[in-house]
Structure 1
């Protein structure tokens, strides 16, 4: 199968590192003209350079904006009025005991993880619908199905994302625009590696040993038995953005290593 996204304009939020950068790189390698969004000019510039080098092209661009806010989404839309592929990857997470999660923390989690994608999809989906082709993805998490007790607000936000995606897929039924969620599991991003390193230091083990311990203690149902790479997650996202994925919509696409105990 040859995925060719030549002539397609793609937008990826939260794409200066981790899964977002891997998705943006994969889309560029498949031929799409990619625009990434990040809050730091330096990080955006570095990510654009990395994509150019990996994809052997020079047409990737970056937008400096906080897409987790209404004003930031307005900035993105103003600079890039229309796209063919929208990847709502922006997200935050963090462990906190339920009784200590105050209203501000809930609000921030929902604004960044849910409303950022809602605002961008609300705008870009109309143009896709009018053209008769488009791809919208919300990057969710296996935590949407297995709500973690140590970060309930994060799991709830990801469950909400899947509800939005399923509902929007119904709104766009029959238009040629597909809407899906992608559910990664533990992934070896920069943030995850830092977290594992800190936990390893606390427990006096190596990072490799801590990664295995983390899975045993927190995700014992994993079938993959390791963290995924960002590129492995990106591969599924790139396929879902392709012309070949035209019959896949309204779906929760799992790339979580078999953690979820369900055959559905």
Structure 2
């Protein structure tokens, strides 16, 4: 399918692995110029650029630019560089995030909460604030924010993450009402238990705790902690990326202010 976005420029935050890389591959095959951004300019970011570069078609290009989304100055510098080199970003896929502090609620400090919020909620605020003006200038835009099943079905040990991800959905809806008349569309996705570095780290930690292999830890986690995943497995990054790519396209021109769950049936409620 031709997504009708050839020649546009996309920024993908959290772009050095997982969902960011897979989405970038979809977009560069459609002729989109992609900027991959992550916290540090390291080997991981360059490896991501190298992987995506192999998929480039129709004159697309890919570049890596480091920026820490918890630092507003760095986000503004990122926006300035993209504006200077590409004339602005038409598409933002804000995939950067972290699990943050996880523990019994009464053990979590203000600092635990604030560190999680700086990345998972305020990171999205900073990125939106920096790039909406570019979309206004271009008179076309797509912004996809990443929430989580945790927004609908919170897990008690992850209260800061749960709250931030619920806030992301509300933020997306708010922005969709404010800017859609300028042809800038905002949507959210809510993945659940996808094969990403974040869930890999969780499973490695669980494997160590249970003295078992990572594969056994994954099986145990699905059965005991995510029993509502009807498909009884982790999702694959490309299963999320394909939905994001569609939301970036001209074919999604009447999808605005919504949240799409990509969770294998993980959320138990029909109306969550």
2:181 corresponds in structure 1 to 174
Matches within 5 A, 1:1-264: 1-42=1-42, 43-55=44-56, 59-81=61-83, 82-94=88-100, 95-264=102-271
1:71 & 1:88 partners in 2: Cα distance? 17
User: In the superposition, relative to structure 1, how do residues 201 and 123 fare at CA in structure 2: closer, same or farther (>3 Å)?
Assistant: closer
CA apart distance, 1:213: 1.4
Range that drifts further, 111-120 or 152-161: 111-120
2:82 & 2:107 partners in 1: Cα distance? 39
Determine helix, strand or coil for the equivalent of 1:236.
helix
Determine helix, strand or coil for the equivalent of 1:36.
strand
CA apart distance, 1:225: 1.1
1:139 & 1:72 partners in 2: Cα distance? 20
User: In the superposition, relative to structure 1, how do residues 45 and 58 fare at CA in structure 2: closer, same or farther (>3 Å)?
Assistant: farther
CA apart distance, 1:121: 1.2
User: In the superposition, relative to structure 1, how do residues 123 and 202 fare at CA in structure 2: closer, same or farther (>3 Å)?
Assistant: closer
CA apart distance, 1:130: 4.0
Range that drifts further, 22-31 or 83-92: 22-31
CA apart distance, 1:78: 2.0
1:114–1:158 CA contact under 8 A, matched in 2 = yes
Please provide the CA RMSD for this pair: 1.7
2:12–2:20 CA contact under 8 A, matched in 1 = yes
2:187 & 2:60 partners in 1: Cα distance? 29
For structure 1, the residue ranges without an aligned partner over 5 or more in a row are none
1:74 & 1:135 partners in 2: Cα distance? 19
Q: Structure 1 length normalisation: TM-score?
A: 0.94
1:4 & 1:83 partners in 2: Cα distance? 16
1:121 & 1:229 partners in 2: Cα distance? 27
